[in-house]
């Protein structure tokens, strides 16, 4: 990362949930490079600190906060901690998420609830905690990270794709409600981005026959996505000049179809 990719977000305060790994990490690094002060929220304190340290090492501003997004109390405390340090956050990226891979009939109610709790309810908590400050500022940018699996469906991922489908409709509805306050709300459904999550799936043989190479061969641009690909779209959505883009699903997927393909 360079010290500053641009100064398009100078003076802004951003919170990135799941910022300690993968796509969240990529978004945190990029928003910081564009000048935002970043609260790196993650369940894993070591990962959150490592990303914040990475940003500070190149001259950016970042602070790690250990947060479980299923806990409204922890989110509220984290948002207050960032506000005390940097001022109110008016950019939120919700990347904290868990994957699930199980035959439909084997999914227990507890497993269903656990995924919905992180992926969908965690998004709800995170947004509700920051929106009052965005309304006060009459400016805000929310980018939710959903999933291409919610656009086309995905076998063995009914719980996961349902939770992400909820994120998409939540995003569209929230955009309609908050537009009058200068707040945009958009979602990026990633399609096969190489992160610790996809690496875990590859190790478990969940990418289907041929593994990673076969997935890349089926991808029109013939490569796996990188967190930086998502971060670039996210950074655009957070800029002032994106103020007329809201309620949108911005697919970043290398041209992969959103019809059902095994991952
Ligand atoms: P990742 O590397 O596993 O990152 C997810 C991060 O979220 C991890 O740091 C994880 O912490 C954190 N997290 C999990 N549960 C949390 C909780 N309850 N509270 C706070 N943080 C929590 O995965 P990724 O691939 O970057 O995924 C990021 C987002 O993109 C997820 O929402 C995922 O569903 C979505 N997505 C990814 C892809 C892809 O191709 N990679 C495709 C579609 C959608 P721990 O490490 O401690 O668990």
CB of 26 sitting under 6 A from ligand 1? no
Q: Calculate how far, in angstroms, residue 74's C-alpha sits from the geometric centre of ligand 1.
A: 18
> Residue 176 domain-assigned?
yes
**Listed ranges 95-99, 198-202, 214-218; the one with the highest mean pLDDT:** 95-99
Structure-token pair, residue 227: 């967190």
Q: Is residue 220 part of a domain?
A: no
The string of pLDDT tens digits covering residues 79-117 is 999 999 999 999 999 999 999 999 999 999 999 999 999
> Which ranges of 143-240 would DSSP assign to H, the alpha helix?
149-152, 158-178, 196-203, 211-217, 227-238
**160 tagged catalytic:** yes
**85: CB partners within 8 A, 6+ apart:** 63
Domain count, the chain: 1
Distance 180 CA to ligand 1 centre (A): 31
Helices 158-178 and 122-137: angle between axes, nearest 10 degrees: 10
In a domain, 48, yes or no: yes
147 lines ligand 1 (CB under 6 A): yes
What stretch of H or E contains 11? Answer: none
Predicted TM-score (pTM) of the model is 0.97
Q: Pairing mode, if any, of strands 61-66 and 91-94?
A: unpaired
- Contact predicate 17/93, CB 8 Å: yes
The answer to the question of residue 199 being in a domain is no
CATH number at 69 reads 3.40.50.720
Is 166 within the bounds of a domain?
yes
Render pLDDT for 14-34 as a digit per residue (tens, 0 to 9): 999 999 999 999 999 999 999
DSSP assignment of 143-168 equals EEE--THHHH--TT-HHHHHHHHHHH
Residue 248 covered by a domain: no
Within a domain: 263: no
What's the domain range around 41? 13-194+226-242
Distance CA(220)–CA(174), nearest Å, equals 32
**Alpha-carbon span 163 to 154, nearest angstrom:** 12
What integer pLDDT is reported at residue 1 of this predicted model? 42
Q: Is residue 84 part of a domain?
A: yes
- Rounded distance from Cα 42 to ligand 1 centre (Å): 9
């Amino acid at each position: 990362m360079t010290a500053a990719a641009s100064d398009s977000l100078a003076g802004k305060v951003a919170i990135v949930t799941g910022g300690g790994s993968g796509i969240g990490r990529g978004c945190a690094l990029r928003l910081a490079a564009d000048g935002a002060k970043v609260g790196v929220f993650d369940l894993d304190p070591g990962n959150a600190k490592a990303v914040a340290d990475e940003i500070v090492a190149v001259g950016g501003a970042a602070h790690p906060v250990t947060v479980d997004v299923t806990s409204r109390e922890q989110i509220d405390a984290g948002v207050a901690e960032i506000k005390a340090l940097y001022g109110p956050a008016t950019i939120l990226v919700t990347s904290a998420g868990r994957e699930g891979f199980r035959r439909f009939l084997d999914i227990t109610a507890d497993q269903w609830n656990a995924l919905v709790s992180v992926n969908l309810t965690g998004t709800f908590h995170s947004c509700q905690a920051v929106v009052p400050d965005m309304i006060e500022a009459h400016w805000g940018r929310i980018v939710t990270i959903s999933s291409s699996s919610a656009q086309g469906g995905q076998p063995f991922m009914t719980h996961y794709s349902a939770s992400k489908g909820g994120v998409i409709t939540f995003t569209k509805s929230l955009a309609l409600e908050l537009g009058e306050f200068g707040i945009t709300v958009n979602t990026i459904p990633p399609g096969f981005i190489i992160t610790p999550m996809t690496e875990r799936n590859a190790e478990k043989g969940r990418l289907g026959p041929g593994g990673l190479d076969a997935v890349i061969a089926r991808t029109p641009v013939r490569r796996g996505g990188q967190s930086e690909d998502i971060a670039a779209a996210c950074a655009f959505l957070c800029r002032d000049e994106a103020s007329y883009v809201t309620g949108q699903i911005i697919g970043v997927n290398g041209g992969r179809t959103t019809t059902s393909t095994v991952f």
